[in-house]
Structure 1
Amino acid sequence: MQVKKVTLHLIEQNLLAPFVTSTGKVDTRESILVEAEDVDGVVGWGEVVAFSSPWYTEETIKTCWHVLEDFLVPRMLTQEYEHPEQLQNDFQIVKRNKMAKASIDMAIWDLYSKKQGISLSEAIGGTRNFIDSGVVVSIDSIDRMLRKIEEHVESGYKRIKIKIKPGQDYELLAQIRHKFPTLPLMVDANSAYTLQDTKKLKALDEFHLMMIEQPLAEDDIFDHAALQKELTTPVCLDESITSSEDARKAVEMGSCKVINIKIGRVGGITEAIRIHDICRSHQIPVWCGGMLETGISRAHNIALASLPNFTIPGDISASSRYWSRDVINPKVFVENGRIAVPDGPGIGFEVDREWIQKITKQKKVIY
């Protein structure tokens, strides 16, 4: 593969409903869609899933645009690749900037699988024709959260994730469990707690949660190991895991019993597969997290979640949960709590160029 040009599309869309976590609220979503075209005219698509402000990681839309335009894309255009895995070594000269790197990695994987005439799922070793779908309920009043959970249960979602924070945890979960005693339920703290809150977190064991995701600092592995020893509830690491080395260390230290894999957070599909393989060898289940993505990134997530060790329903839900109109056709649909894994070449969806053009704020073609 030799890419001859890359087009960056900075788009902006309004979420159908605000997304609220312990760190803030998101109601308008900027994204960078990365379009890579090779010398044969084959196009692959990726997406920058960073946010406009650095509340999730240190990267933002603006920093990713800069790193892509000035460093990663120019470097890639001078190279020829036989396989997407080669990007990892080629990009080592640029430190971190995982989400910027991931967007190109995704585009090259899409391009590669299209040139092979196979689906992205097949190209990476996927084994499933359907994946189970979970859904996230953001922080709100208890009554509204209970109504939202009921809607999702009726829609067939396989598990529910609740955002929590100090002061909105035990009582909230008590009311949810009272109404939904057997619901597959997990919580996400987005680093809202410290080891001083161990007693509060231990109290959540009574609710028989699937896991508590990232309770402590976003860059921590050590304290999570101490916390996991005190809890019956499995600890799941998210922000702490940015590479396969992070995953190896966390598993060996006993910092968690589950890992959430996000393509953007770990630098691309290649690294996501490595983390999957490490966890599988240690019998640590994984699942695919969401980043309020467009359908392009959602399609990549579907393919990733078709790998065999993704045994927990991920944050991969229907397009209609987030957007009045998605950037792909057809939209991602959830039926009976499951999503079909596309079997067409690449990501298996057509990109809606007409809609992308309407919502584009800035565009850059790099040769």
Structure 2
Amino acid sequence: MKASYYKYILDFKRPSGTSRGVMNEKETWFIILEQDGKKGIGECGILRGLSIDDRPDYEEKLQWTCANIQLGKDQLWEALLEYPSIQFGVEMAFQSLASENPFLLFPSDFTNGKKSMVINGLVWMGTEGFMKEQIEEKLADGFTCIKLKIGAIDFDVELQLLRFIRQHFSPEQVEIRVDANGDFGLDIALDKLKQLSEFELHSIEQPILKNNTDRMAELCRRSPFPIALDEELIGVFTVAEKEDLLVKIKPQYIILKPSFVGGFRGTQEWISLAEKYKIGWWITSALESNIGLNAIAQWTFLQHNLLPQGLGTGALYTNNFDCPLAVSEGQLWYEKEVNWEFDFNEFSSL
């Protein structure tokens, strides 16, 4: 078996805002495996400034992984514990190589086009006008669950945007999730949660910064509506540490990004613990290209979770790879008659 890796820069169609600033491009890496004339591909979806494996030796670790590919998927997963995005890329690449079609990793009623998955429509941070425009667009597109990134503009303006949605759509018509990305100050977080509760929100992701576990536990206990942990899960590597965190904080939900939490195996560990403690969960992508998104979507369908998932990022980039994934009426579909536009030879010449 031969393994190689390649860097690829994804270009955003329009600058995308988070509480950590505005992104114009997104770096990703591909691992390509070759054996007996077959090829497989995996995506290592690192997000600089957020992923725990955003380290100076990242490329060196990719090099080591490819040089030691004969160790196999399971041994490599253990060796790459502190590099969750590479764990995911390796898992995906092995699954892709073992499949008849390198992009059909987990055949199901989803990949044969019979069933779809409900997803949330993502509204990016920006000016009031830009956010309102996105909200109207998502509602017109038939989304029944929208997720708003908050924390970048004035809080009162964000409350007005939520009021605008609720004036037109009841909680039964449109579910609203908000994501604070840790933006709320420790001392004022509960007050902000009380103000937000007026709009009958489904949940809020990560109201305060991670590693404030005592305060987060208190907020989960006292918040008038559910809290979901997101960044809090990053860098929690062992099953024992994961369990300790959930037992201490007792969140209502956790949000799982395979690129951040150790791929399918790491995600499955979190799911098992969440179900043990009656904690809800859903899966989201982390700005991967369509290659990573495709693998996450196919695997997610097999988990039979009926909550809206966070899997609709494929249209963000100008230089993504055309693929069978399509969003219609707030649902993610796999249009099996659509072919992938991906040339392995282009990468072997890089």
Distance in 2 (CA, whole Å) between partners of 1:323 and 1:152 is: 18
Partner amino acid for 1:190?
A: N
Shift of 1:191: 1.6
Shift of 1:343: 7.7
How many residues are aligned here? 336
Distance in 2 (CA, whole Å) between partners of 1:223 and 1:107 is: 40
CA contact (8 A) 2:28 2:45 kept: yes
Distance in 2 (CA, whole Å) between partners of 1:264 and 1:362 is: 26
Aligned counterpart, 1:229: 221
CA contact (8 A) 1:285 1:309 kept: no
Equivalent position SS for 1:327? coil
Decide which of 331, 337, 341 is 1:338's aligned counterpart: 331
CA contact (8 A) 2:80 2:86 kept: no
Decide which of 177, 181, 189 is 2:180's aligned counterpart: 189
CA contact (8 A) 2:287 2:313 kept: no
Distance in 1 (CA, whole Å) between partners of 2:165 and 2:104 is: 45
Distance in 2 (CA, whole Å) between partners of 1:117 and 1:146 is: 36
Distance in 2 (CA, whole Å) between partners of 1:31 and 1:118 is: 21
Partner amino acid for 2:257?
A: K
Decide which of 59, 62, 65 is 1:68's aligned counterpart: 62
Unaligned runs of 5+ in 2: 109-113
Deviations 1:301-332 (A, max 9, x none): 2123213453322221163x3123422434x2
Distance in 1 (CA, whole Å) between partners of 2:267 and 2:252 is: 17
Return closer, same or farther for 1:36/1:293 CA change in 2, 3 Å cut-off. same
Equivalent position SS for 1:192? coil
Return closer, same or farther for 1:150/1:116 CA change in 2, 3 Å cut-off. closer
Distance in 2 (CA, whole Å) between partners of 1:302 and 1:45 is: 16
Asked if 1:201 corresponds to 2:198, the answer is: no
Decide which of 195, 202, 214 is 2:206's aligned counterpart: 214
Shift of 1:204: 1.4
Asked if 1:262 corresponds to 2:257, the answer is: yes
Distance in 1 (CA, whole Å) between partners of 2:214 and 2:89 is: 30
Return closer, same or farther for 1:121/1:286 CA change in 2, 3 Å cut-off. farther
Distance in 1 (CA, whole Å) between partners of 2:26 and 2:102 is: 33
Shift of 1:27: 0.9
Return closer, same or farther for 1:95/1:333 CA change in 2, 3 Å cut-off. closer
Decide which of 22, 37, 43 is 1:41's aligned counterpart: 37
Unaligned runs of 5+ in 1: 123-127
Aligned counterpart, 1:31: 28
Distance in 1 (CA, whole Å) between partners of 2:333 and 2:131 is: 28
Return closer, same or farther for 1:307/1:168 CA change in 2, 3 Å cut-off. farther
Aligned counterpart, 1:125: none
Decide which of 282, 291, 296 is 2:286's aligned counterpart: 291
Shift of 1:338: 1.3
Aligned counterpart, 2:343: 353
Shift of 1:22: 0.9
Partner amino acid for 2:305?
A: F
Report the RMSD for the aligned CA atoms in angstroms: 3.0
Distance in 2 (CA, whole Å) between partners of 1:174 and 1:207 is: 10
CA contact (8 A) 1:213 1:236 kept: yes
Partner amino acid for 1:329?
A: C
CA contact (8 A) 2:18 2:152 kept: no
Of structures 1 and 2, the one with the larger relative CO (CA 8 A, separation 6+) is: 1
Deviations 1:273-292 (A, max 9, x none): 22223223333222122322
Aligned counterpart, 2:88: 102
Distance in 2 (CA, whole Å) between partners of 1:362 and 1:206 is: 56
Return closer, same or farther for 1:156/1:65 CA change in 2, 3 Å cut-off. farther
Equivalent position SS for 1:195? coil
Return closer, same or farther for 1:95/1:167 CA change in 2, 3 Å cut-off. same
Aligned counterpart, 2:5: 8
Distance in 1 (CA, whole Å) between partners of 2:19 and 2:104 is: 41
Asked if 1:56 corresponds to 2:50, the answer is: yes
Partner amino acid for 2:69?
A: M
TM (normalized to structure 1)? 0.81
Equivalence map 1:88-99=2 (5 Å): 90-99=76-85
Aligned counterpart, 1:154: 140
Aligned residues with identical type, % of pairs:
20
Aligned counterpart, 2:268: 273
Equivalent position SS for 2:78? coil
Distance in 2 (CA, whole Å) between partners of 1:305 and 1:317 is: 13
Equivalent position SS for 1:120? coil
Return closer, same or farther for 1:293/1:303 CA change in 2, 3 Å cut-off. same
Q: More displaced, 210-219 or 162-171?
A: 162-171
Aligned counterpart, 1:306: 301
CA contact (8 A) 1:32 1:49 kept: yes
Q: More displaced, 278-287 or 205-214?
A: 278-287
Shift of 1:61: 8.2
Partner amino acid for 1:112?
A: A
Asked if 1:145 corresponds to 2:139, the answer is: no
Distance in 2 (CA, whole Å) between partners of 1:352 and 1:117 is: 10
Q: More displaced, 143-152 or 95-104?
A: 95-104
Distance in 2 (CA, whole Å) between partners of 1:218 and 1:343 is: 40
